[in-house]
Structure formats: C-alpha cells, structure tokens
Amino acid sequence: MPPSNTRASSFFQDHIVTWSILILVLWPSPLAFGAKSEPSSQVENLFDFLQEEQSLQKFELGEIVNATNQPLGPSTSVFEITDQDLLDQHARSLSDALRFVPSLFLSVWGTTGQSNASIRGLTARQNVVFIDGRPVYDPWFGDLRLENLPIDNIATIKVIHGPVDPAYGPNTLGSVINIVTKRGTGTPTTRATTSYESHNTQDYWVEHGASRGDWNYYVTGSYRRTNGFSLAKDFSPTVVQPGEFREQSSFSKKNISTNIGYDVGPEDRIALLAGYYTAELDTPPNIHAEAFPRFGIPFNRFVDWSRWYVDLYGQTKVGDRLSLRGNGYIDRFHNSLDTFPDSTYQTMSGNSKFTNIVMGFNGQATLTVADQLKVKGGIFLKQDQHREQDNVGKEEHDTFTTGYFLDTEWAPLPMIVFSAGMNYDVLYINQDQTVSALSPRGSIVFQPQPSTRLHAAIGRKSRLPRLLNLYGSIGNTDLNEERNLVTEIGVQQSYSDDRVVTRVIGFRNDVKDKIEFVRLPGPGRRGQDKNIEEFTAMGVEASLSVAVTESTHMSLDYTYTHIDVDTPIDPNFDRSFHQLNGGIQYNAPWGLGAGLQLSYIDGDPDAFPTNFPDEESHVNFVLVNGKISYEVWKGWKPFLAIENLTDSNYVRNIGYPEPGRRLFMGLNVQF
C-alpha cells in the first residue's frame, strides 16, 4: 500500500540537519572559487561537459517524422521540450513536463483523479501520445494517465499541432505528443538526480549509457514516493477535505527501462527497447463528493498499477534512394482499483481489475524520386485487448485496426515545399462490422528569405471509436468515426541572426460526429455512446523567443481559444480561455543555473454545466515555478526548486485543488 497520509510539521524544522548540510555544500568555499577562477580551467571544464552531454543522444529510430529530412522544417507548428528543459523545470512526470506548453491545458478529473491534456479545445481522448513510434493509451477509455509516464529516459518531447503528417497513422484527429527517448553512444556517461520535499516526498533517478564498437546500450531507473502534499494556506475546507493536507494524495512508483542497439552499417540499425513500471496510488477524492451525492463520485485507491513493454526497431537503406524502417511492439498494463463508499476508506465496496494489451507493427518506406521529390508510404497494424473483472463479472473485448498512408513532398524551388497525402484506416469490430475513415491532408511551406517563414495546412482527420464507445454500458457497435476539419496558418519572423524569433499562428478545428454518452429513458442510470456532438474550436497563438546572451534565454507565448458546442443536451454552449506563459533561463558556463516559469490561465477550458460552486467553474490562476542550481564541482550540482511560488489556491478542474507552495532540494550528478 502507499505510505500513509501523515501530516508533516514545518519542512525546515523537520529537516534542519539536511538543510544545514546543503547550505554548507552551496556556500562559496575557497576550493570552489579556486576551481573556477582560472579562465583556462573554465573553458576546459565546459568543453569536457559538452563532450559528455553528447554521449547520451536521441534515439533516432524512435522519430516517426524526422524534421531534419524536411527541406524547410515541419509543415505545422511544433513545440519542443528537451531533456535539459526537463531538468531546468524540475519535471518528474510527463504531466509536469507539459505544464508550460502553449495551447495545452492540463486537467485533473474523473473518479480516479488522473491528469490529462486538452490541446486547442480537443480533449485527451482526441489527441495521441507516441513514445518512439508506439502509440501509448488506455485502449478501453482511449486516454492516458500522464502522471504515470516517467520522464527518466526522455530526450525530446514534441507537441505537434494542426493537421499532422499522415505518417503518424490512425486516430490523429487532434494534436500529437511525440516522445523520443535516449540511446547510449560515445564515452560511458552516468547521470543521477535526487530530490526531497516535505511529507517524505523523495525522488531518485539514475541513467547510464555508452557504446562499444557497433553496439550501444542505455539503461535508466527511478524510484519516487510521497506521503502527499499540502494545499494553499487560503484553501477553504469541505466535508471531504477538512484540512490543509490533501486527503489520499500519496503514491509510490518504480521504473526501469533499457535500449540496446546494433549498428549493422552506416545506414542500417536495429534496436531492442524494454521497460517495466509499477506503482501504488492513492487517488485524491473530489472535495465536493459528499456535498453533491447525486454525482455518485466514489473514493478510490489503486493498490496496483503496472506496465511493461517490448519494442523492436529496424532501419535499412536499399540503394541510394529507398529507405525502409519499422517497429513492432507490445504494451501491457494492469491495474487493480479498490473502491470505498465514503472518505473513511475503512470498508471496501468493490474492486475492479483491468488488463489492457496493445500489440502492433508500423512500417514505413521513403523513396527519393529526385532531389526535389520524395514519396513516403507505410502501414500500421494494431490490436487492442481489454480484460475486466469486478464485482459483477468478467468482460473481454478486442478490436483490430489497420492503417495505410501515402505522402509526397515536392520542392520545386529552394524556398517552397508542397506536401499532400492521406490516411486510410479501418477498425475491425467483428467479422461483420467495420468502421473506416479516409483522411486527406495538404500543406505548403514558403520561406521567401532566411528570416521569414510562412506555412499553411489543411486536413480532414479522424478518430475511430474506442472500446468503451463500442461496449460500455449499453454498447453501440454502429458508431461512426469522429471527424475534424483542421486548418492552420502561421508566420515566423526572426531578427538579429535568429536571436529573436516571433511566431503568430491561427487555427481552427471543426469536429463532427463527436461521440458522447447519452442517458437513455427509463429507470436506472444506463446510457449509450452516440455520434451526437459538433463543436468548433478556433483561436490564435503568438510567441516571442529571445536569446539575450549565450547564457540567458527568455520566452513568452499567448493563446486564445474559443469553443462553440452544439449537442441535443445543450445546443448553445460555448466557452473560451486565455493562456499566457513566460520563462527566463540562465545557464552560466561557470556553473550557475537559474530559471523561472510562469503560466496564467483565465476562462473555461474544460467547463461544462454543473451544480458545483460557480467560483470553481471558471479557471483563473497564476502558477510560478523556479529553480536554482550551482556546480560546486565538475558534474555536481545541488539545487533548490520551488513550485507554486505565490502559494495560490487554484484548481484546473472542479473539485480537485492543486498543491500549495512546494520547496524541493536535491542534487544532479554527472560523471
């Protein structure tokens, strides 16, 4: 079971010895100053550090669409997060890593308190997460618990908007979160991070990678645990949440993963990836659960949440013009959820066990017809399996999906690139029923001069029904696919040798036949999923990025999104929200690192009509995070990180207050 939720006293009082040691380590001793006072030593240390930085590289076989192969870059907007960004922002999970992404709104909701990402008005179930080309999701619900995806081995995260490239395959109705992990190469390198916060919050993470001859290897592992977190000082207690310490907010998580690769030749590679994750998770209840009993919100606890995966990758080149690549995978996760009738968590009222397996294969071929013309094509095969057992009985459901894509890129002039392609996807429900979708897409990128870049893209994207839609409650196997007409247009302008970059992007999503749950007439609460909803999400994104010096970088971005919803339940429901993100990061060659991130959100990104308090249906908050570190010796960096600096009492979703001010101390080591 997770550690108990014991209320901690003052963080500084409880850990005064640890703080004293950290202060002594951080205090500028003569030894530390002597080691960094010689200019030649600074340059030498920096050179050595950069050499080591390059020994753990991005796993290129995990890139579905490699932007370096596109003459003028991607044809839609892309926001990228690097492994250094993850360290600078003290991210500990994928949900942490996405906190400051433009147009992305993190919400905590549902009876199990999972975190999800809405992007440009589209929900988590309409966006897709890939890890090294493998789609990662719950095949029953269709979404993903972001807090249960560790970041231990992540090299880059790309959030890809607009009508995405056909090479991403089926179900890409919205945006794509594409994660590429690391591989070892060059000098053997080990990195480790540890941090500590009140309520026994501990974080340990280590990674190691290298290469020997044509072989390369990488391995990482982590252990994270907490007794929970405190809420802001001005939080107003409820029956379910009577105190400042958040009820049922503890967890314990363990993760290990590895990547073993072999370079058969300069263009030919194979790799085997495998990983295992296990966790015990309390789920914080909705603080209004007993005040509004008609919502039937239960109290839950995951006594087991585990996942393992195995991936096999290959790449080869045939002649000078044809490249082939592919990967096969199996991804299995299991959870056991205990349910309780009230906040005492004394008498268990039920238990449900889910086992989900996703198996598949992706194959892709790229033919360079001429220097100006490339043709890509590929196939996706995927089987979803769901097994469920609870107090009522057992359920077993399976579907099989095939997808095909064809895409062309034509650059008639060095300054312009056209692309056009399509996906054709088929969901096999049973021997007699299928759902199919044809999704065309086109784009243009125009760069009239090196400092100016314009792009426009349009596509009809789709999402096939998930298992819950087909078989949940009163099943409906006659559903159609959800459809989205996606348009995006943008301009990028750089100044001062690319030290200043500005971007403005307009977007629109027109979604038809969105699947929604409908209560059926008659006694009971049974219902059925139907294609009944239409909505439009449109808005604008603007960003500014400034490299002030070689050591200092500033960024600012603003997003406005407006959503109009048309359903039989509420035919005239609309919502909108504003999001402003800002950040400054300073990484000096002599060892000091300092960063500050800010996010302001105002509006109703996930609003829906409820009887919950009106003041919580409208999201309005400012979140400020920061971190400071100092390299006291080569590769040794103690740090302090603070989250919710202003101790704001805020929610991202009704009934789920976020943590108050949190202060972490830790150490990053590299050797």
Write the CA distances from 547 to 56, 179, 630, integer angstroms.
25, 25, 21
Q: Tokens 């696919």 appear where?
A: 481
Fold of 11-179+327-641: Maltoporin; Chain A (2.40.170)
pLDDT tens profile 363-376: 999 999 998 999 99
Residue 146's closest CA among 120, 121, 110? Answer: 110
Cβ neighbours for 265, distance < 8 A, ≥ 6 positions apart: none
Confidence of residue 47 (pLDDT cuts 50, 70, 90): very low
Q: Which of 172-181, 368-377, 445-454, 515-524 has the lowest mean pLDDT?
A: 515-524
Q: Which of 147-151, 213-217, 555-559 has the lowest mean pLDDT?
A: 147-151
Polymer length of the chain: 671
Tell the burial category of 183 from Cβ atoms under 10 Å away from its Cβ (0-12, 13-18, 19+): buried
pLDDT tens profile 522-563: 776 678 999 998 999 999 999 999 999 999 999 999 999 999
Q: Tokens 């995070």 appear where?
A: 625
Count other Cβ atoms within 10 Å, centred on residue 214: 11
Query: Which residue spans within 239-390 are E strands per DSSP?
Result: 251-263, 269-282, 299-318, 322-340, 350-370, 373-389
CA-CA-CA-CA torsion for 49, 52, 54, 56, nearest 10 degrees? -140
Confidence of residue 519 (pLDDT cuts 50, 70, 90): confident
**Rounded CA separation 359/258 (Å):** 19
Upper half-sphere CA count for residue 665 (Cβ side, 13 Å): 15
Cβ neighbours for 38, distance < 8 A, ≥ 6 positions apart: none
Domain range summary for the chain, segments of one domain joined by +: 11-179+327-641
Record the tokens describing residue 542, joined without a space: 């603007």
Question: Is the pTM here over 0.75, yes or no?
Answer: yes
CA-CA-CA-CA torsion for 62, 66, 67, 72, nearest 10 degrees? 180
Confidence of residue 296 (pLDDT cuts 50, 70, 90): low
Contact 185, 51 (CB under 8 A): no
